[in-house]
Amino acid sequence: MRQVMVRYRVRPEHTLENERDVRKVFEELALRKPASLWYASFKVGDNVSFVHVVADDSGDRPHPLSEILAFKAFAAAIERRCDEQPIVTELTEVGSYNMFGD
Q: Are the beta carbons of 28 and 71 closer than 8 angstroms? A: yes
pLDDT at res. 1: 84
In a domain, 100, yes or no: no
In a domain, 67, yes or no: yes
pLDDT in tens, 3-33: 999 999 999 999 999 999 999 999 999 999 9
For residue 59, the number of C-alpha atoms closer than 13 Å in the C-beta half-sphere is 2
Cα 50 to Cα 1, 21, 29, 34: the distances in Å are: 23, 13, 19, 23
The H-or-E segment that residue 16 falls in is helix 15-32
> CA–CA separation, 101 vs 58, rounded Å?
16
pLDDT at res. 102: 47
Where in the sequence is the domain holding 16, given as residue range(s)? 2-91
In a domain, 96, yes or no: no
Domain at 39, CATH number: 3.30.70.100
Count: domains in the chain: 1
In a domain, 85, yes or no: yes
pTM (predicted TM-score): 0.90
In a domain, 69, yes or no: yes
In a domain, 97, yes or no: no
Q: How many other C-beta atoms are found inside a 10 Å radius of the C-beta of residue 72?
A: 13
